[in-house]
Structures are given as structure tokens and as C-alpha cells.
A and B are shown apart, each in its own frame.
Chain A
Amino acid sequence: MASSSGAGPSAGSTPEPSGPPESGSAAETFASPARRGRVRLRRAAVMAVPATAIAAGLMILTAQGALGVQFAISGMPFTVTATNLDGEGFAQFGGLDQMAEGSPNEGDTGGQVLVVVSAIKKATLEKLCQSVDLGGTNLLITAGAGSQKVSATNLTTDSTELSGDAAFDNIEIGNDAGTLDKSHTRGPKGVFSQQADTVHIGNLRQTNYATTAAVFKLPGLKLRFSDQGC
């Protein structure tokens, strides 16, 4: 039996012989190679129980806003809405997003999307809602509906559409994007940009292509599928 596995799909990529070494490593007394391996429930539970407990703990801590989580999404457009956004260290400039080569979302764009990059060093959002269209159904993430607000640091979003009622403090419009200094990032040289010390946006609505490496704290997190987006 062990010799017949030489024709198996793994034969080329691994020198591992099937059968005897495994039974040896598991301290089994049965050496018959004809018998199949199987999952023993009790053994699996040894790992499943603590793993489930840790996963539940992580989710509860996240939903309480005690743990921050990171997002890095791209290629699929998704919508973000919030009733209020307050930010410190705001910068905005144009940019070009390049999709992964051969991405199914390319369409007739050649894989490039013109985006507005908004960077906010510290942001708090009220009633955050984020939805991704998965074709037929939407994955909906809501947070910050209660008394605690969602907070994010080093938030960078690449959006194609942005709407809301905005108010800025100490705004500078028309800077070169390479000289931005109020936020955590800067753009390419020779591109139009603007920056401000603080920003307030009411009824925010963004269509994004990417949110990168922002650490989000999401009190009151809810993750669900829904027919409607945000």
C-alpha cells in the first residue's frame, strides 16, 4: 500500500514516505498501513475548546472597544458611512490605485482607479457602517452606535466618491502633495493637495477602494450579511 502512494500527487514535491513514520510519531501500536487515519473527537476538542474561548474573548474585547483591529482592503469597492467624523491631522490628495494584475475587478479600466486619498492621523467616528457588495448580498459591519465612538489612528482611505458636510480648521489648499506635514503620510510631488489641522464631516459617505493599516477600535461591533448596503 505504501508503495502505491508513490504515484500520488505529492510524490514530486516531498520526500515524506506515507505510513510508518506517522504511526511511529503518534505512538500507535498498530502498524497495518491499510487503515485510514481519522480525526478523534476528544483529541480535537483539546485544541478546539481553548481556541474557541480565545476567539470569543477577542471578539468580546473588540466589541467593547478595548482592542484595536486593522483593516487592509482593496480591489473591491466598499462603502463607508458615518453620521459624524472628527479628525486631527487631515490631508487629501489625488492618486492612482493599481489593482493586482489580472484582477477580475479590472473591467475596462486597465486595472487603474483614480482615487482621492484622504489621510487622518486621529479620527473618531459615530455610527460607523461599512458594507462590501459581494454580488447578491452585502457584508455589513456596524459599530459605534452606542455611547462609545469608533476611533481610528493613521486612517488612510482611497475613495472614488466622497460626500458630506465638511468643516476645517486652518486649512491650506493647493499645497504640493509632496510637502504635506500635518498628517501621517504625504503624496507624490507635483500633485494638488490640501491639508488641515482638524476636520469635521457630518453625514459622511465614501466609496472606497482601500483602507490601509488603520487601527480601528470598534465598540459595539456587529458583523452580518444583509440585502441592503449602508
Chain B
Amino acid sequence: MASFRHWRAVRPFWGGLLLTLGGAEILLTEKASLKVVMHIGMQGLAGYLLPLLMVICGLLILFNPAQRLFYSILGVLASLGTWLTSNLGGFLIGLLLGVVGSCLTFGWLPDQEPRPARSWRRRVRRGHREPAAQP
């Protein structure tokens, strides 16, 4: 359990998970038989490609967090695209999960101050050092 906690701590866990779940939810809402999809052609296929891309990006965020910026940008674009191609983004639920997940991933940074020092002002008052990345 401790190793899982550590594994979670060094990657944007919730972002990747939400993006994966969002893609999966959209796929669940459109289980049309593949025969029909092939018949419709590219237009119908796009409805499956975008949520699939979301799932893949979500998993890559979890398992290859070093490239998280690229995956999160790809993920947010795919999530927004599903509104047009896949049942209004899985009836909005999958789209929201995907966008929130991508944004959490984009905003995630490793090696941050521990929780209690979250407030910027409090940290200054206590005399802690500011992280270099902060404006």
C-alpha cells in the first residue's frame, strides 16, 4: 500500500484516471455493431477513434508521466471533439471527465511543497523558500 501511495505521488494520478474513465464512459454509450460502423465509413469511425484516443492518453499519462503535457493537450482536444462525434460527448459526462482530467494533468507538477504549505501567503510568513516555478 505504501508503494502504491508513492507511485500515485509521482504522477498526475487523478488526471490520468479521470481522462481514462471519461473515454471509457463515451465508448460505453455507443456500442453499435462494428458492421454498421464500417458501412457508415470514416464519419462513424471517428466516433470511436476519439474516445479511444482519450483512453490511450489517460493510460499514457499514468504510465509515462514524463510526457504528460503532450498527452494532456491531445486528451483535451479529443475530449472536446467527442461532443461532435460521439453522442454529445457521452451525454456530456465523459466530456466533462475528460476535460477535467486533462486540466488536472496539465497543472500537475512533481516535487511540490507538502499540503500544509499550500497557501502562498502562509508559506511566505513562515519564511519557507518559494518553488522556482511559481510566478
Contact = CB atoms under 8 A, between A and B. Distances in A.
Interface of A: 1, 4-5, 7-10, 13-14, 16, 18-19, 21-23, 25-33, 35-48, 51-52, 54-55, 58-59, 62, 67-75, 97-100, 103, 132, 139, 141, 154, 156, 185, 210, 212-213, 215, 223
Interface string B31-47: 11100110110011011
Contacts of B31: 73-75, 99-100, 103
Nearest to A211: B32
Most buried by A among B4, B6, B32, B85: B32
A69 B108 contact: no
Contact of A35 (B85, B92, B114): B114
A206 to B, nearest CB: 16
B135 interface: yes
Contacts of A154: 40
Given A30-B111, A69-B88, A59 B83 contact: yes
Query: Looking at chain B's contact residues, is the secondary structure mostly helix, strand, loop, or mixed?
Result: helix
Nearest to B39: A185
A202 B85 CA distance: 29
B20 interface: no
A26 B86 CA distance: 34
Contacts of B127: none
A8 B114 CA distance: 22
B3 to A, nearest CB: 5
User: Chain A: interface secondary structure?
Assistant: mixed
Contacts, number: 206
Contact of A16 (B47, B63, B103, B132): B63
Contacts of A58: 80, 83-84
Nearest to A153: B43
Nearest to A48: B103
Interface size class of B (residues with CB under 8 A): 35 or more
Contacts of B106: 43-44, 46-47
A41 B134 CA distance: 11
21 contacts: A8-B4, A10-B62, A14-B64, A22-B65, A23-B110, A37-B12, A37-B111, A39-B15, A40-B109, A43-B106, A45-B103, A46-B106, A51-B102, A55-B83, A71-B88, A72-B32, A72-B47, A73-B29, A73-B32, A74-B32, A156-B40
A103 B103 CA distance: 33
A118 to B, nearest CB: 13
Contacts of B39: 185
Closest 9 CB pairs of A and B: A44-B107, A213-B44, A8-B7, A213-B40, A36-B9, A43-B107, A37-B110, A38-B112, A47-B106
B131 interface: yes
A18 B85 contact: no
Given A22-B66, A46-B106, A213-B44, A36 B84 contact: no
Given A44-B107, A62-B88, 14 more contacts: A7-B3, A8-B7, A18-B10, A30-B111, A36-B9, A36-B114, A37-B11, A43-B107, A43-B109, A47-B72, A54-B80, A70-B84, A154-B40, A213-B43
